[in-house]
Each structure stands twice: as structure tokens, then as C-alpha cells.
A = this chain, B = another copy of it.
Amino acid sequence: MTTRNIRVEMLRTTPVEKQRIEIVERKGLGHPDSLCDGIAEAISVALSREYKKKCGIVLHHNTDKTLIVAGSSAPKFGGGEVISPIHVVVAGRAIKEYEGMDFATDTVALRATKDYLRRTVRNLDVESHVVVDCKLGKGSADLIEVCRLKDEMPYANDTSFGVAHAPLSETEKIVLNAERRVMQELREKEKAIGEDMKVMGVRDGDKICLTVADAIVSRYVDDYDHYMEIKSLLTEFVKDVAQEFTEKEVNVAVNTGDTPQAVYITVTGTSAEMGDDGCAGRGNRCNGLITPNRPISMEAASGKNPINHTGKIYNLLANKIANEIVERVAGIEEVYIKILSQIGHRIDEPQVASAQIVPSSDSNFNAIENAVRKIIDENLAEIGKISEMIIEGKLSTF
């Protein structure tokens, strides 16, 4: 055991699964807030790689302030047009000069933004439907110094924290998987499915109600009847996915605001084309969900630098730790992890790393405590792996 400040505490509480009301939300990949997160993270990954390629280390940057200003559009069955483009403002900081080298941070950011949009929203014509403006500043001088030296442990660039829980509740699993499976499976069969899909799940006792909004792509829909068919298809698909995760009653409602005169269709598959602005850091947390029944961090993980920004690293690490704990340690109903950094201190030595354990009725807390402490300690010792996984694109931040 090390001298790390790890606190493991037993929490006597009603687990979320047994509470009366549970609310869970997921904003899908094409939601304007998620697009901002995705762009922010894509830029950070691209910059990290560019820095490594040019000088062997990842230099300081934070690109977690992307803004999407919605465009306007005129979708119609069988076609439609984007009238005014979506405006993407990429903000943040990135080192532009280091040891005599120049870094084309804006050029890299532009390319990363467009590549991300192109592969995420299939019906978006990035060249004419989107204006990308890049306002990456240089960053303040002191932060520039805190960039990673080759073999050393980085120092935290701020006092911030990461939060996570495990395991996911049934409703959480359903909301997360409903969106993912629609994109992976149903979208391949039914081209009209837009990438901007939002799922709001409410469990009231034993009844789960899913409200789904999907920005149906107008060019693949012949008419109103066809539109209603697609809605049915989507409804059934989501219901089937849900039933894989629960035996509770599940109701699914899609595009509930529709009327025969006005349905939810788009030219591109994202509502950013016509009135929904977006901001990085305002949507899903690192586990892909928004969960008002759970403690969460307000830190935007997407776009922060993967080397010493604890607002990013600790959230991802907390999730990894929480999941490992419920996988490897028996007798745990729920675990809540919080990790708090101290600016200027090594990131593997947080100010405090706390685990709250909701034990099963019959468990031995002493055994649990030791096992949990060990998992936290090991994960902190290997914190550098998180950075590597981020740069390799293996960790999702939203």
C-alpha cells in the first residue's frame, strides 16, 4: 500500500434500482451538444497526435469549448435543403510554438472537426452545410510550462474532480443501449434514421417509459404514411432492445410532438440544421448518460488535454475504477467514486480518492474495503494508461 489518500466508506442507502422514481437521459451522437463534445474530443486527439509526431510529447491544450450555432433548413418529404449553414465555433487553447517549432493547431483543428462531422452525420454535406470557425488561443504562459516531460508523472493543472458510479441500473442500460443499437443496427437498414436521437427514460416503480426523439432524414421518407411506418419500426426496435435488459413493463413513444401537419424531419439528420444550438460539456457524462439520481461531475471531459487535466482524466479513471470494483469485488450493490486533484501536485497522488460502497445485505465490509482500496491504488499507479487510451481513441468521453 502507498501513502495515497484513499478513503473507503460504507454508505447505507436505498440503491437507485429500488428507489421509486428514476430519470435517465442520453443525447445521441448527432445531438448538437454531443456533436460539440465529439468535435472537442476529436480535436484534442488530433492535436495530441500532432504534438507527439513533431516533438515526442503532448503539449498543453484544452479544446473543450466548442459551440454550435444552429442553421436553418427546409426539409420536405423526398428532399429538402439546408438554407443557412450550421456555424461551429471551436474555442480553447493550444500551444502554437515550442522550442522553435510551429504547430499548425488551427489547421489540425479544422481538419479534425470536419472529419468528425463527416463520419458522424452521414447526410451532412460538411463543405456547404457547415461553417467552422477556429478561435484557438495560445493559453496562459504558466500552463504552457506544465506540459508533459517524457518520463515524469504530470502535475495537475487545476483543482477539479472526477465522479462515477457502477453498476448501471436497468434503466440506465436501456437508455444507453437503445441509442447505440439504433445507430449500429437499425440505421444500417433504415436510412431515414437520423443520428440526432435523444432518449429520456423514466422509471416509476416497475414501469419504464422511454421518450425518444429522432431527427428523421427527409430525403428517405416518401410521405406521411411512410414517416409513420418508420416511427413504428423505431418504436418496436427500441422496445426490443429494452426488453433485453429488463422484465419490467416498457413503453416507448417516438417524436411525441408530431402532428399530421408537422413532423420531425430534417435534411441532415441533426436538429442543429434548424434551431438547436449546442455546447460542449452540456450533455452526457463520461458513461454516456445524464443521471439526476446519481452524483455527477460538471467537468467537461471532452476536449481537455489527456495528460494533466484532471477534470478529464479523473472522470474517466473514476469510471474505470467503479466498473472494476463491481466486476472484481463481491458483495457490492453500488459503488460511488470521487477523485479530487490538487493543482500543482502529481496526478497519481490526488488530494483524496473516495469510494462509497453500498453493500449487499450479507457482505463483509472489511474485505470489501481492502479490495476496493487496492483497486483504486493500482489504478492511480497506472494512471498514465488512461492518457494513452484517450490518445488512441479507445475511451469515449460522452
Contacts and interface: CB of A to CB of B under 8 A. Distances in A.
A127 B142 contact: no
Contacts of A290: 298
B19 A11 contact: yes
A268 to B, nearest CB: 11
Given A102-B81, A295-B295, A343 B256 contact: yes
Interface stretch (A103-111, A325-333, A360-368, A383-391): A103-111
A348 interface: no
A344 interface: yes
B294 A295 contact: yes
Contacts of A25: 161, 298
Residue of A13, A93, A213, A277 contacting most chain B CB atoms (<10 Å):
A277
B279 A280 contact: yes
Give the residue among A21, A92, A274, A342 with the most B Cβ atoms within 10 A. A21
B131 A134 contact: yes
Interface in A279-332: 279-283, 290, 292-298, 300
A129 interface: yes
Contacts of A62: 277
Contacts of A7: 20-21, 204
A176 to B, nearest CB: 15
Interface in A243-281: 256-257, 262, 271, 274-281
A89 B92 contact: no
Nearest to A10: B14
B127 A110 contact: yes
Contact of A275 (B93, B135, B204): B93
A70 B12 contact: no
Interface size class of A (residues with CB under 8 A): 35 or more
Given A9-B20, A12-B12, A104-B82, A67 B67 contact: yes
Contact of A298 (B19, B96, B275, B282): B282
Contact of A200 (B65, B105, B159): B159
A352 B137 contact: no
A277 B12 contact: no
A38 to B, nearest CB: 16
A87 interface: yes
Contacts of A143: 275
Contact of A277 (B93, B108, B351): B93
A85 interface: yes
B277 A354 contact: no
Nearest to A91: B69
A336 to B, nearest CB: 9
B161 A292 contact: yes
B300 A282 contact: yes
Contacts of A140: 271, 274-276
B344 A256 contact: yes
Contact of A91 (B135, B159, B160, B277): B277
A293 B295 contact: yes
A120 interface: no
22 contacts: A12-B14, A19-B356, A21-B356, A23-B161, A23-B338, A25-B298, A62-B277, A65-B69, A69-B137, A70-B93, A71-B137, A74-B104, A81-B102, A82-B104, A83-B104, A85-B106, A85-B110, A110-B131, A160-B200, A256-B344, A279-B300, A296-B298
Sorted from nearest, which 5 A-B pairs have the closest CB atoms? A13-B13, A140-B275, A21-B354, A9-B20, A65-B277
Interface of A: 7, 9, 11-14, 19-21, 23, 25, 62, 65, 67, 69-72, 74, 81-85, 87, 89, 91-93, 96, 102-108, 110-111, 114, 127-129, 131-135, 137-143, 159-161, 163, 200, 202, 204, 209, 211, 213, 256-257, 262, 271, 274-283, 290, 292-298, 300, 338, 340, 342-344, 351-352, 354, 356
